[in-house]
Amino acid sequence: MFKKLRARWGVSGLDLLLILCTFALGGSACARLSQVILNLGFSGTKGFLWWLSYILLVTLLWPICVLLISIPLLQFRFFSNYLRRVGKRIFTRNLKSKSYKIKIALFASGAGSNVENFISFFSTHADVEISLIVCNNPQAGVINVAQQYGKKHLLINNNDLAAPANLIAQLKQEGINFIVLAGFLKKIPGELIAAFPNKIVNIHPALLPRYGGQGMYGNKVHEAVIQAGESKSGITIHFVDDHYDHGEIVFQTTCDVLTNETALSLSKKIKQLEKQHYPEVVYGLLQNAKG
């Protein structure tokens, strides 16, 4: 449950603990304050009117109490965004679902298993749309995946990455809000990063900062982990910056590396972690960005 909350909210383990503490303390403070206020105005037994007033007062005071408690716990930004999102869902949910969607572009170079996972995950989320599949390999299986699911795809080459002005223009024309690297083996140019600041994420099949960098992908990573005698490996989801596998880490989770582990068997474990966590973490980031 805690891993799912971390993924959904896109927060660290410590921040998750502080957020849960804020929820608990805010609720307790709100309940106590409501009782004190009502006891000043009511006398005798607690009847129907008292309980109705109590429910209404708790509803009104809870956001204030939570925000006040979030300040010393350094979670004010999270809760201000959280309460804003809740308010939007209550008052504008139907209008928003019809008029606005976050549009994602998936960049991929290979068979497309991650792309298919994202398409499946977001097929049940009306507020997010997989709008474009960008691929640098005309023979890649991901193109077939895009066609199978009726997703628009864009083939690019090294020149498009060396001078990405046209690529950026095409992404903007498609209304893309967020970019997910789903097995994309080329370095993202700085101009593209600048055009989508903190809106490009990547997944690496190891626990960064170790076993990352240029040329470290696929079985090369797993072989390096095994040769180093590591007992744990895992996945790292991070924002993309100007360096390979270097941006701010958003989420990590681990799996065991057994004594008889092979690159193939470890790869299967890592792919399972990717399938389980990557779309969910991205969705958490999107929800935070909306606030």
Catalytic residue among 204, 222, 238, 277: 204
- Starting from the edge strand earliest in sequence, which strands make up the sheet with 153-155, in order? 153-155, 128-135, 102-108, 178-181, 200-204, 232-239, 249-256
CA of residue 289 relative to chain centroid, distance = 10
Extract the tokens encoding 95: 């209008």
> Is 204 part of the annotated catalytic residue set?
yes
| Cβ-based neighbours of 195, under 8 Å, separated by 6 or more | 168, 171, 172
| Cβ-based neighbours of 173, under 8 Å, separated by 6 or more | none
Let me know if 91 is exposed, middle or buried by CB neighbors in 10 A (0-12, 13-18, 19+): exposed
Q: How far apart are CA 98 and CA 127, in angstroms?
A: 9
Q: Are 91 and 36 in contact (CB under 8 A)?
A: no
Q: Which residues are catalytic?
A: 204
